[in-house]
């Protein structure tokens, strides 16, 4: 009797969660996610921030001979060896999987077994050794207006931290010392020099890289204190004239993180789309993102995910555990409770002409949940012998048409092709009045 009562209580609890009138009680089945493999040039950055303290992790998507790798990042302070380390790519992969836009599916119940048209069933679900000497004499450095503030090796990276008085000298110093940066970088370097920022410069220590046993370069993580909450993106534009994708995962103890100098727009979400999209979700999301990006005149950042790390619904991956969160830079955790870690995922597609400024952020106390979520709604396949069942069957054509129009609006795909694939009757086979009466 006690066991039966326990089971009933569990079932009642689950039912309460699934049918409570809340926008976040999905109870759907997770199907797949849109991951970073969709994009040819996608950089990823993780920022853990509390007050003025920041832990920044950069994933290196460099392709080519590692001896040619050079990374130049403006930073607000001089970093010491103990403030820099190499991280594992797995942590970024976990954050990416947990926050990725997701496809979920639902299955209609038998309309003859429920009051289908009155119970809401048709509604949308609602430190390191010192590096070898780099460069020539300090006298020449001074003549260029460049000062080497720090020099060390971390893992497979030789790192120097520089300050500079003028961009021509900095560009010359980098080229003389073997950092292969594109010509003309001085125009982009100059604003950072005026702000008295330092330059974190890294290249691969080939001997250490060979000993590491890693096939790819590992992410670099740096910890520092500064009132500036920003991410420099303009230097990345030197290497490409094309649009680039940037995914920023921001971890905060307060709530959502927002941009202050660009608009942030939620990615289109919570829509029903045709069932055939299940087999091509990646292509759907790419087209949808490009359509939304163009509609916003290519000048916004898209919010793809905002959620407390303590839960998810539906989950595309398990939430990161406390150990993983610490590896991701969350330094304020003092227990196994993840409820004070809020993840914001921003997707920025940027180019020189549309994003002339670096990204400036601010923490907020906004704890509203959001995710890019797309719904497949399977119709009931069984026999329908009741009035409600026949009414339900007549309603499907209208529903499929709505799904088709939604998909065409989101992606720009041709409505005729979508209707054909979604089994929506064309105007030639169904009288026009039937599409409105039934």
Kindly provide the residue ranges of all beta strands, DSSP E only, lying in 155-308, ordered along the sequence.
157-164, 198-204, 220-225, 230-231, 244-252, 257-259, 263-266, 271-272, 300-308
pLDDT band of 238, cuts 50, 70, 90? low
303 has which bridge partners? 266, 346
Nearest to 388 by CA among 125, 110, 124: 110
- DSSP-derived letter for residue 37 is G
Taking only the tens place, the pLDDT of each residue in 262-276 is: 999 999 999 999 999
Q: Give the pair of three-digit tokens for residue 101.
A: 């836009």
Who's near 3: CB < 8 A, 6+ residues apart?
none
Taking only the tens place, the pLDDT of each residue in 327-384 is: 999 999 887 777 799 999 999 998 878 888 899 999 999 999 999 999 999 998 888 8
Taking only the tens place, the pLDDT of each residue in 129-164 is: 333 343 444 666 777 899 999 999 999 999 999 999
Residue 41 reports pLDDT greater than 60: yes
- DSSP-derived letter for residue 208 is H
Q: Give the pair of three-digit tokens for residue 256.
A: 């959502």
pTM higher than 0.85, yes or no?
Answer: no
Least confident stretch, 11-20, 86-95, 282-291, 407-416: 11-20
- DSSP-derived letter for residue 313 is S
pLDDT band of 239, cuts 50, 70, 90? low
| DSSP-assigned states of every residue in 58-91 | EE----S-GGG-EEEEEESSPPPGGGEEE--HHH
CA distance 65 to 49: 33
CA distance 130 to 42: 32
Residue 103 reports pLDDT greater than 50: yes
Q: Sketch the domain layout of the chain as residue ranges.
A: 29-382
């Amino acid at each position: 009797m006690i066991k039966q009562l326990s089971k009933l209580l569990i079932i009642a609890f689950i039912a309460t969660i699934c049918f409570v009138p809340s926008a976040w009680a999905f109870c759907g089945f997770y199907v797949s996610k849109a991951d970073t493999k969709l994009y040819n040039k996608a950089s990823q950055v993780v920022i853990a921030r509390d007050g003025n303290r920041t832990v920044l992790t950069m994933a290196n998507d460099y392709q080519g001979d590692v001896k040619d790798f050079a990374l130049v990042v403006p930073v607000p302070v001089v970093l010491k060896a103990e403030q820099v380390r190499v991280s594992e790519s797995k942590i970024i992969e976990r954050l990416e999987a947990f926050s990725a836009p997701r496809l979920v599916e639902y299955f209609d119940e038998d309309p003859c077994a429920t009051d289908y048209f009155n119970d809401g069933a048709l509604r949308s679900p609602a430190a390191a050794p010192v590096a070898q000497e780099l460069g020539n004499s300090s006298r020449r450095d001074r003549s260029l207006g460049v000062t080497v503030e720090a020099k060390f090796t971390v893992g497979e990276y030789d790192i120097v931290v520089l300050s500079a008085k003028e961009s021509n000298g900095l560009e010359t110093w980098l080229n003389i010392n073997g950092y292969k940066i594109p010509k003309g970088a001085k125009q982009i370097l100059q604003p950072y020099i005026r702000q008295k920022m330092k330059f974190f410069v890294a290249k691969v220590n080939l001997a250490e890289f060979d000993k590491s046993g890693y096939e790819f370069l590992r992410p670099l993580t740096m910890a520092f204190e500064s009132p500036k909450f920003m991410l420099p993106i303009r230097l990345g534009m030197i290497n490409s004239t094309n649009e680039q994708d940037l995914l920023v995962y921001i971890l905060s103890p307060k709530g959502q993180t927002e941009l202050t100098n660009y608009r942030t727009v939620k990615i289109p979400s919570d829509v029903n789309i045709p069932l055939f999209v299940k087999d091509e979700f990646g292509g759907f999301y790419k087209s949808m993102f490009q359509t939304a990006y163009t509609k916003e005149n290519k000048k916004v950042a898209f919010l793809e995910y905002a959620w407390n790390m303590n839960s998810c619904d539906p989950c595309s991956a398990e939430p990161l555990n406390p150990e993983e969160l610490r590896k991701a830079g969350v330094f304020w955790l003092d227990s196994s409770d993840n409820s004070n870690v809020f993840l914001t995922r921003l997707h920025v597609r940027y180019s020189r002409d549309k994003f002339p400024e670096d990204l400036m952020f601010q923490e907020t106390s906004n704890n509203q949940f959001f995710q890019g979520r797309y719904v497949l709604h399977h119709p009931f396949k069984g026999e329908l012998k009741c009035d409600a069942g026949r009414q339900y069957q007549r309603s499907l054509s209208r529903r499929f048409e709505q799904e088709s129009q939604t998909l065409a609006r989101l992606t720009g795909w041709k409505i005729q092709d979508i209707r054909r694939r979604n089994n929506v009757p064309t105007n030639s086979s169904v009288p026009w009045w039937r599409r409105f009466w039934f």
